[in-house]
């Protein structure tokens, strides 16, 4: 198998050698990286299939794991080839995780559960139900505050719009997922959205952007030593170089994608590779080869849940046979219509449009609520600082003033008020952080506030003791000065007193 892979890799190396001066820097880097990775591929990669994860074992570990980042890593380990190729497995796993998430009231698990369910129904062609689950997944991810999980939920949601060729909406979600993943801690998720952006930009003929994001995703997967998405990336890169006119390199990429998918459960990636190769040959007027690979693309997913992927190759065959073979034209036109209707019937379009509008409206309301909460928190912090400043000034004035005798109970009362104001100020300042690390758990929030109070109370006692001591010393000094003056007046003779009065 390695020999077969390297045989397809040599045209890429040959093309690079012959056209070195004509290639952009990005293309050179990508070809070098591709050639290096191809040489490093293990023997039997084309026939090896990913080992199915032990769902029950992983879910038990997820339930016991307290560290948020480790919990995310465990959940991401569930994302195997099954989620992209076995709708029933995705739905069953999603339901198990959903029940566990509801018992533990955990938004991270809840978001991933909804994303699994959404992917399962997407693969079954039920985009309405899929989109509903994905919107719930995004909402749960937002509540969790975990950016990696939010990126995962947005990436999965964007697939619906990519399938339906609503590319503007898909690009918006993929870009948002990329930004959130870059800020998150899970490395594997960082490569998913860029790989899909490569496909969407290819479909919209933005070849530079497609090449940039595909290269970025491929570098991430090479660094992580994962090959599960490589066939998809090779198909994208083949399409880019096909449109750029780099025929040998394009064919090499398509063959790499096909070889990596043959004999594995990844029939979706296999049919994408065949479709890409069929479109490439049609682009260069090699009709026989185009027909051959288009028919193979249809045969791979025929009588499977992925029948909707027949749309592109069936449309291609319909166009080819339109002027030469009426029977074949009708046959493939019917296949194209059936595949296209599963995604784009008028009823589905209307429902998807309504759900998209509702989600956009919800996102606007969430954004507006966040702005309002931030402004309110800022205003409350300002009020707390103002109150603390006034109280501190009064305490210092009473404690340090040399002219007024003050009751210590006043200082103690003001000290208690100052303690409450400081506690409220810290609560306002730290509340978003505490919510994020405790996942809105009321018990953990209470414990965190108790810890803050436990630190503040001893400090309050020390400051109160200092202020009271200063106040007592000041009062003693004032009384002593008054007593001295009285004694002095009493010890003077009447004549001296009258003289002092006259003076």
The model's pLDDT over 287-297, given as tens digits with 9 standing for 90+, comes to 889 889 988 99
Give the percent of the chain with pLDDT over 90.
Answer: 31
Distance of CA 420 to CAs 148, 376, 415, Å?
Answer: 37, 19, 9
Q: Which of 20-24, 114-118, 298-302, 412-416 is predicted with the least confidence, judged by mean pLDDT?
A: 20-24
DSSP tag of 90: H
Please report which confidence band the pLDDT of residue 1 belongs to, taking 50, 70 and 90 as the band edges.
very low
Tell me what the pLDDT averaged over the chain comes to: 77
User: What's domain 1-19+229-344's superfamily in CATH?
Assistant: Tetratricopeptide repeat domain (1.25.40.10)
Q: Can you name the CATH fold of 53-224?
A: 1.25.40
User: Domain residue spans in the chain?
Assistant: 1-19+229-344, 53-224, 353-496
Report whether 74 contacts 58 (CB < 8 A).
yes
3-state secondary structure 220-278: HHHHHCCCCCHHHHHHHHHHHHHHHCCHHHHHHHHHHHHHHHCCCCCHHHHHHHHHHHH
Task: Summarize pLDDT for 305-344 with one digit per residue, the tens.
Answer: 777 777 788 888 888 777 665 555 555 555 655 555 555 5
Task: Summarize pLDDT for 14-37 with one digit per residue, the tens.
Answer: 444 455 455 555 555 555 555 544
Name the more confident of 116 and 476.
116
Average pLDDT, stretch 437-442?
68
Using CB atoms within 10 A of its CB, is residue 105 exposed (0-12), middle (13-18) or buried (19+)?
exposed
* CA trace torsion 350, 354, 360, 363 (10° rounding): -140
Please report which confidence band the pLDDT of residue 478 belongs to, taking 50, 70 and 90 as the band edges.
low
Name the more confident of 429 and 69.
69
Distance of CA 21 to CAs 13, 25, 34, 43, 482, Å?
Answer: 14, 10, 18, 33, 98
Name the more confident of 49 and 143.
143
How far is residue 284 CA from its own chain's centroid? 40
Name the more confident of 412 and 245.
245
Name the more confident of 482 and 318.
318
Domains 1-19+229-344 and 53-224 share a fold: yes
Please report which confidence band the pLDDT of residue 134 belongs to, taking 50, 70 and 90 as the band edges.
very high
Average pLDDT, stretch 274-302?
90
């Amino acid at each position: 198998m390695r020999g077969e892979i390297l045989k397809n890799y040599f045209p890429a190396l040959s093309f690079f050698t012959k056209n070195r001066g004509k290639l952009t820097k990005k293309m050179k880097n990508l070809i070098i990286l591709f050639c290096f990775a191809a040489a490093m591929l293990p023997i039997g990669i084309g026939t090896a299939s990913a080992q199915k994860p032990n769902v029950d074992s992983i879910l038990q570990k997820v339930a016991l794991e307290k560290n948020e980042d480790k919990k995310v890593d465990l959940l991401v380990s569930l994302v195997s080839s099954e989620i992209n190729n076995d709708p029933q497995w995705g739905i069953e796993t999603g339901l198990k995780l959903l029940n566990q998430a509801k018992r533990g009231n955990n938004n991270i698990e809840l978001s991933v559960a909804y994303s699994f369910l959404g992917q399962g129904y997407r693969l079954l062609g039920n985009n309405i139900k899929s989109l509903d689950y994905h919107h719930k997944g995004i909402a749960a991810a937002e509540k969790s505050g975990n950016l990696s999980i939010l990126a995962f939920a947005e990436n999965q949601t964007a697939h619906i719009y990519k399938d339906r060729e609503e590319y503007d909406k898909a690009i918006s979600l993929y870009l948002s997922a990329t930004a959130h993943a870059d800020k998150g801690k899970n490395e594997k998720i960082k490569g998913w959205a860029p790989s899909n952006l490569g496909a969407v930009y290819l479909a919209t003929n933005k070849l530079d952007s497609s090449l940039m994001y595909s290269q970025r995703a491929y570098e991430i997967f090479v660094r992580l030593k994962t090959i599960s998405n490589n066939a998809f990336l090779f198909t994208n890169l083949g399409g880019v170089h096909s449109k750029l006119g780099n025929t040998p390199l394009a064919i090499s990429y398509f063959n790499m994608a096909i070889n990596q998918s043959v004999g594995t459960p990844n029939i979706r990636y296999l049919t994408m590779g065949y479709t890409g190769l069929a479109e490439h040959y049609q682009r260069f007027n090699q009709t026989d080869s185009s027909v051959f690979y288009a028919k193979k693309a249809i045969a791979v997913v025929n009588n499977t849940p992925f029948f909707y992927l027949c749309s592109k190759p069936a449309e291609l065959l319909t166009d080819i046979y339109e002027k030469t073979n009426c029977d074949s034209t009708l046959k493939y036109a019917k296949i194209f219509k059936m595949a296209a209707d599963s995604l784009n019937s008028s009823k589905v379009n209307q429902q998807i449009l309504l759900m998209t509008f509702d989600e956009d409206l919800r996102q606007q309301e969430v954004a507006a609520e966040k702005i309002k909460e931030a402004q309110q928190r800022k205003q409350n912090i300002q009020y707390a600082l103002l109150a603390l400043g006034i109280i501190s000034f009064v305490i210092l004035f009473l404690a340090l003033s040399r002219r007024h005798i003050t009751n210590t109970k006043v200082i103690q009362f003001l000290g208690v008020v100052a303690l409450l104001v400081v506690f409220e100020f810290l609560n306002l300042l730290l509340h978003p952080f505490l919510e994020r690390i405790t996942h809105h758990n009321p018990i953990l929030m209470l414990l965190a506030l108790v810890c803050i109070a436990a630190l503040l109370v001893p400090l309050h006692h020390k400051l109160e003791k200092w202020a009271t001591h200063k106040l007592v010393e000041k009062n003693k000094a004032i009384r002593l000065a008054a007593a001295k003056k009285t004694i002095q007046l009493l010890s003077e003779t009447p004549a001296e007193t009258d003289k002092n009065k006259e003076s």
